[in-house]
Chains A and B, each alone.
Chain A
Amino acid sequence: MSEVFQIKQSKTILWIILPLLLLVLFLTNISLGSVNIPLNDIIDILIGKTVEKDAWANIILQFRLPKAMTAILVGAGLSVSGLLMQTLFRNPLAGPFVLGITSGASLGVALLVLATASFGGILTFIGTSGNWLMVLAASFGAGLVLMLVLVAATRVKNSMTLLIIGLMFGSATGAIVSILQFFSSKEQIQSYLIWTFGSVGGLTWREINIFLPIILLGLVAAFLLKKPLNALLLGEEYAKSMGVKIKSVRFMVIVVTSILAGTITAFCGPIAFIGITVPHLCRMIFNTSNHKTLIIASVLMGSIIMLFCDIIAQLPGSQFVLPINAVTSLLGAPIVVWIILRKKNITT
């Protein structure tokens, strides 16, 4: 009896600690950067007071705030889509990108950057239409692969088969990207590579105005799927017997994941490991597989970890910055290994 009570109590504490941690990291994130701005000035800027250096207000409001918000949306979106994929495929190593969404987005960007060689300087090409062309290309590529996966989903019964099909789509698109790279100039390969580094600082308010509603929509949709997701954990047959329409749930889960992961990849490039790592962390610290808890926890945890990774990427105090994708991988991979070693096994 007391054990159950202890678990409940520790969970309540977690629900206080995590949002607090998120707030602290959010403030830390926007107060650290290449330029030193005192904390009280930052608070003044955030509550709308004027500070003596208007450059500081610009740095906070036009640069660090959108960056921190992007980090939160990316962390939350990727973690939740990772959770959905792990449940759908009942595979602990599934992430938001197993369906080939990243590969599809990469293909779109690669086609744009690498195959437009005949138009002359690609940077001119991208320059004329802003970052939107890149976003469109990535969304188009992700959407194309998603459509193929959806067609496959209506034809195969087994989620495992679907997983393999997704991986194959990924390999095939990866191969096309390689061929494109082979025929591209160093400059083009470089601008493609820069996209693969990932970026959370590239979004301005104009882009966040689109990014934010899409991610919120995806997160709400995921939350609404919590009950059928719980049923899926017990096996597709069992879920069926409980009256869950497997096919339509599978369809919905794939759509939500694609919207989340596809949009994030389109705006920020591929960002590794967050989607795989965070759901495991949440399962471990909350010791549950209930999706009601896990989805909210993934949103909080994902945001926290992304903010933290971004702080590291900014190398506070130095003028230099690291690619965000490298930081998430460096941090994510050891966490997965640690979880496996700690639990001796890994489950969904």
Chain B
Amino acid sequence: MYKKYIWLIILVLFGCKNNKKVAPTILEDSLNSPYKIAYAKGFTVEHFKGYKLVTIPQAWQGSKEKFTYALVKKGAKIPVLGDAVQIIRIPIKSIVCTSTSHLPLLEYLGELDKLVGFPHTKYISSPAVSTRLAKGKIKELGTESGLNIEMLMALSPEVVMDFGYGNEYDKYKSIQKVGIPVIMNADYMEETPLGRAEWIKFAGLFFGKEKEADSIFNMIKNKYNSLKKIAANSDTKPTVYSGTMYGDVWYMPGGKNSGAIFVNDAGGEYLWKEDSVTGSLQLGFESVYDHARQADFWIGMGSFNSLEEIENTDERYTSFDAFKNENVYNYNAVMGKNGGNAFLELGYLRPDYVLADMIKILHPALLPAHKLYFYKKLN
């Protein structure tokens, strides 16, 4: 809260110098687009005279750096806000994104034509983006080791939308050094599916499409909540486990992971729901086996495409009841031609699709007309 007051003081200090006739526009602005962020915890929006202030308090786990952007309309006067605040002129006309989860945001806002470059394009699954890529409208900006800075400079987009983990792989600093503003997108830090989907409002701000973003999110939210209500009517609560072994370790989504939330909202019982981890638990095989061998469903296990593949990798997977009863589902039904997974792209923006899939898997009778979208049953 106190941060708001600080900005109020800044507003008073700087705002008073300007002529006061502009003052009603603030009021009008904030009345007309009360950009309420209901679910997402990763960014805040504040409205000021002539600009909006967007803050990402934590772009990654344990980040001490705060990212603050002042969104100023092109042609409008740039406010004096100090070095800590990056000025972004909106609406932006060209952008480079670095994560596939950014792409559906542009697509849904109808701003895909502003996307001029993307690194490691083979992970893209969206047909619309792939088409533009094939036509040469989107430039490949280097492969695995990340963004090629020289190619980026040659392309000189107005902004880059990036993400960070706070480690040596982060590129945003070197991009900033060459004078291109970097918008940090911390959507992956959101703990709830709707919170993550609400980042469409974040993207909407930069394209001047708050209203569109708002209505897209409301549509998704309403669908999600009505699906949740349908699932609440189920009489049974099938048990679910997830994840797979890498080396000696079974990576099990934690009890506060979005995977666990989906299972719960779909009227299932996630077996590690008591746990408070948002990321993954690292478990030994036997503790998973002991807890989940009689579970009804095994949902989400990396990139497996068939039961045979699972059995070939480690025959011990077959001693689970879910495997024996062939109640095994994975989220790789929609794949791009180069191996990009739509679940890891569009799935973040459409939690309603994911929830519908989950309900269809756990309680097929509740959604007789629904066809699985992201998920498929392994045979």
Q: Give A residues with C-beta under 8 Å from B.
A: 33-35, 55, 58-59, 62-64, 117, 119-121, 123-124, 126-131, 182-186, 188, 191, 194-195, 197-202, 204, 206, 269, 313-314, 319-321, 323-324
Contact between B316 and A320, CB atoms less than 8 A apart: no
Closest to A132 in B: B312
CA distance A323 to B302 in the complex (A): 21
B236 at interface by CB-CB < 8 Å: no
Distance in Å: Cβ of B119 to nearest Cβ of chain A: 10
Distance in Å: Cβ of B93 to nearest Cβ of chain A: 30
CA distance A313 to B293 in the complex (A): 23
Given contacts A127-B303, A201-B285, A204-B315, contact A120 B339 (CB under 8 A): yes
Q: Could you write out 7 A-B pairs with CB less than 8 Å apart?
A: A33-B286, A58-B319, A117-B143, A120-B122, A183-B143, A186-B169, A269-B247
CA distance A321 to B309 in the complex (A): 25
Contact between A59 and B143, CB atoms less than 8 A apart: no
Contact between B303 and A314, CB atoms less than 8 A apart: no
Among the stretches B66-74, B196-204, B276-284, the one at the interface with A is: B276-284
Distance in Å: Cβ of A194 to nearest Cβ of chain B: 4
Closest to A320 in B: B282
Contact of A34 among B145, B286, B312 (CB under 8 A): B286
Closest to A53 in B: B290
Contact between B248 and A59, CB atoms less than 8 A apart: no
Closest to A36 in B: B290
B325 at interface by CB-CB < 8 Å: no
CA distance A206 to B319 in the complex (A): 15
CA distance A194 to B289 in the complex (A): 21
Contact between A323 and B283, CB atoms less than 8 A apart: no
Main secondary structure of the interface of B (DSSP, over half): mixed
In the complex, chain B residues 169-208 whose Cβ is within 8 Å of any chain A Cβ: 169
Closest to A131 in B: B313
Number of residue pairs A-B, CB distance < 8 angstroms? 111
Contact of B314 among A35, A59, A186, A202 (CB under 8 A): A202
Contact between B286 and A35, CB atoms less than 8 A apart: yes
Distance in Å: Cβ of B222 to nearest Cβ of chain A: 34
Contact between B284 and A323, CB atoms less than 8 A apart: no
CA distance A146 to B4 in the complex (A): 67
Contact between B248 and A321, CB atoms less than 8 A apart: yes
Contact between A319 and B339, CB atoms less than 8 A apart: no
Contact between B246 and A194, CB atoms less than 8 A apart: yes
Contact between A323 and B248, CB atoms less than 8 A apart: yes
Contact between B286 and A202, CB atoms less than 8 A apart: no
Collect the chain B residues with CB atoms within 8 Å of residue A204's CB. Answer: 314-316
Contact between A191 and B246, CB atoms less than 8 A apart: yes
CA distance A348 to B303 in the complex (A): 49
Collect the chain B residues with CB atoms within 8 Å of residue A117's CB. Answer: 143-144
Contact between A63 and B248, CB atoms less than 8 A apart: no
Contact between A35 and B247, CB atoms less than 8 A apart: no
Distance in Å: Cβ of B206 to nearest Cβ of chain A: 26
In the complex, chain B residues 299-349 whose Cβ is within 8 Å of any chain A Cβ: 302-305, 309-310, 312-316, 319, 338-339, 341
Given contacts A63-B316, A319-B281, contact A185 B144 (CB under 8 A): yes
Contact between A314 and B289, CB atoms less than 8 A apart: no
Given contacts A131-B314, A195-B247, A324-B248, contact A123 B286 (CB under 8 A): no
Contact between A321 and B145, CB atoms less than 8 A apart: no
CA distance A185 to B338 in the complex (A): 14
Given A123-B302, A204-B314; 14 other pairs, CB 8 A cutoff: A33-B284, A34-B284, A34-B287, A35-B287, A120-B339, A123-B303, A124-B305, A130-B313, A188-B144, A197-B247, A202-B247, A313-B248, A319-B281, A323-B247
Contact between B290 and A59, CB atoms less than 8 A apart: yes
Distance in Å: Cβ of A217 to nearest Cβ of chain B: 25
Q: Give B residues with C-beta under 8 Å from A.
A: 120, 122, 143-145, 169, 245-249, 281-287, 289-290, 293, 302-305, 309-310, 312-316, 319, 338-339, 341
Most buried by B among A63, A126, A131, A319: A319
Collect the chain A residues with CB atoms within 8 Å of residue B246's CB. Answer: 191, 194
Closest to B120 in A: A185
Contact between B284 and A120, CB atoms less than 8 A apart: no
CA distance A184 to B146 in the complex (A): 9
Contact between B305 and A127, CB atoms less than 8 A apart: yes
Contact between B287 and A129, CB atoms less than 8 A apart: no
Given contacts A62-B316, A321-B282, contact A35 B290 (CB under 8 A): yes
Closest to A206 in B: B315
Contact between A59 and B289, CB atoms less than 8 A apart: yes
Collect the chain B residues with CB atoms within 8 Å of residue A127's CB. Answer: 302-305, 309-310, 312-313
Contact between B286 and A128, CB atoms less than 8 A apart: no
Contact between B284 and A319, CB atoms less than 8 A apart: yes
Contact between A320 and B284, CB atoms less than 8 A apart: yes
Collect the chain B residues with CB atoms within 8 Å of residue A33's CB. Answer: 284, 286-287
Closest to B310 in A: A127
CA distance A321 to B250 in the complex (A): 9
Contact of A183 among B145, B286, B319, B341 (CB under 8 A): B145
Collect the chain B residues with CB atoms within 8 Å of residue A194's CB. Answer: 246-247, 249
Most buried by A among B282, B286, B305, B319: B286
Collect the chain B residues with CB atoms within 8 Å of residue A314's CB. Answer: 284
Contact between A199 and B248, CB atoms less than 8 A apart: yes
CA distance A206 to B306 in the complex (A): 20
Distance in Å: Cβ of A263 to nearest Cβ of chain B: 18
Given contacts A186-B169, A319-B283, A320-B284, contact A201 B144 (CB under 8 A): no
Collect the chain B residues with CB atoms within 8 Å of residue A313's CB. Answer: 248
Collect the chain B residues with CB atoms within 8 Å of residue A206's CB. Answer: 315
CA distance A126 to B245 in the complex (A): 13
Distance in Å: Cβ of A329 to nearest Cβ of chain B: 16
Contact between A55 and B289, CB atoms less than 8 A apart: yes
Closest to A122 in B: B303
CA distance A200 to B285 in the complex (A): 12
Collect the chain A residues with CB atoms within 8 Å of residue B316's CB. Answer: 62-63, 204
Query: Nearest 10 pairs between A and B by C-beta?
Result: A120-B339, A34-B287, A130-B312, A201-B248, A35-B290, A123-B303, A124-B303, A194-B247, A321-B284, A34-B284
CA distance A185 to B123 in the complex (A): 11
Closest to B294 in A: A55
CA distance A313 to B285 in the complex (A): 13
Collect the chain B residues with CB atoms within 8 Å of residue A182's CB. Answer: 145
Contact between A55 and B313, CB atoms less than 8 A apart: no
Distance in Å: Cβ of B202 to nearest Cβ of chain A: 23
Most buried by A among B284, B287, B316: B284
CA distance A199 to B305 in the complex (A): 25
Distance in Å: Cβ of B89 to nearest Cβ of chain A: 32
Closest to A123 in B: B303
CA distance A121 to B339 in the complex (A): 6
